[in-house]
Amino acid sequence: MSSASLYGEIPSGVTSPIQSLNEEQRAKLEQFKEIVASWPEDLIEDKAQADEMAMYRYLLGLQWQLDVASNHLKETLEWRKTFRPQDLRAKDFESVAKQGWCYHYGFDRQSRPIIFLKMGRDTAPDTEENRLLKYKYLAYVQEKCISRMPPGVYNITWVVDLHQANVTLAMCQNMKDMFVKLGDHYTERLARVYVMNLGWGLSMIWSFIKPFLAKSTVEKYNIIKGNDKHIAEEIAKGLDPAQTPKEFFGQVDYNFDIQKIIDEESK
């Protein structure tokens, strides 16, 4: 089975945001390159993790504070050498992924890869072992998206359906901790989050979590309320229905199958 049938066709690239930098920003980017060039060669196993676009992401995500951005990138490169998200494979967490609660398929209208979360399918017991496996799985899915980004694209769109999700305050806290931890090493990878079926109780939990998130992060969340027709219309503003699974109001007959992904990765 081809990668396109598993994850959707990769679109053409977009204009790099680096081209629109002002003089001050470009000067900081050049200084960043000099800092990275001074680091030990074995720190950077994959040049793409410390290329011009990576430096741009860290500067953008950390308010163009050069020292903070360079330290943060260096910490991420050290984390990648030990955690090794680039080596993760679907078979490593089949037990928590097979329900299909989280998967990558298709690209949004800005050519950004999409991650879909169907939280009602997450039925794995809430154990320390499973939380670690889910953390690894979320890193794996992001790595898959990053590997399929067309030129000029650097971040990811998330679509989250909370219908029938067994969401508690403790679970939200665990999920928040996981996303914050991942966010530390996937700086400025989050483009947009569409959240649907956020019930009254979950709205209260969101109100609890929101103050702990950066304002720039909160602004990326689009909480969609209303009937299915309204939700579909809102989703279609950012996602092409022709690239979206039917279970998220699109037109694609897509069924997540972890075994097909495992088979494809074993070739």
Same domain, 112 and 199: yes
Does residue 23 sit in the same domain as residue 148? no
Place of tokens 């989250």: 160
Same domain, yes or no, for 111 and 52? no
Same domain, 259 and 216: yes
Domain count across the chain: 2
* Res. 38 pLDDT band, cuts 50 70 90: very high
pLDDT per position as a tens digit, 191-216: 999 999 877 656 766 776 677 666 77
Please tell me the predicted confidence (pLDDT) of residue 171: 66
Cα separation, 190 vs 178, in Å, equals 14
Rounded to an integer, the average pLDDT of 246-264 is 94
Q: What is the pLDDT of residue 246?
A: 96
Q: Is residue 5 part of a domain?
A: no
Which residues have CB under 8 Å from 50's CB, separation 6+? 36, 39, 44, 73, 77
Residue 259 has pLDDT above 80, yes or no: yes
Helix or strand or coil: residue 160?
strand
Q: Specify the range with the lowest mean pLDDT, choosing from 11-20, 92-101, 200-209.
A: 200-209
Q: What is the mean pLDDT of residues 114-143?
A: 92
The verdict on 54 and 25 lying in the same domain is yes
- 201 and 112 housed in the same domain: yes
Cα(140)–Cα(94) distance, integer angstroms: 12
Q: Is the pLDDT of residue 150 over 70?
A: yes
Q: Which two tokens stand for residue 39?
A: 């680091």
Residue range of the domain that includes 107: 88-265
Q: What is the layout of strands, in order, in the sheet containing 221-224?
A: 102-107, 113-118, 156-161, 190-196, 221-224
Check whether residue 77 and residue 92 sit in a common domain: no
Distance CA 9, CA 249 (A): 19
Look at residue 200 in the predicted model and tell me its pLDDT. Answer: 64
Q: What is the pLDDT of residue 43?
A: 96
> Which pLDDT does position 204 carry in this prediction?
65
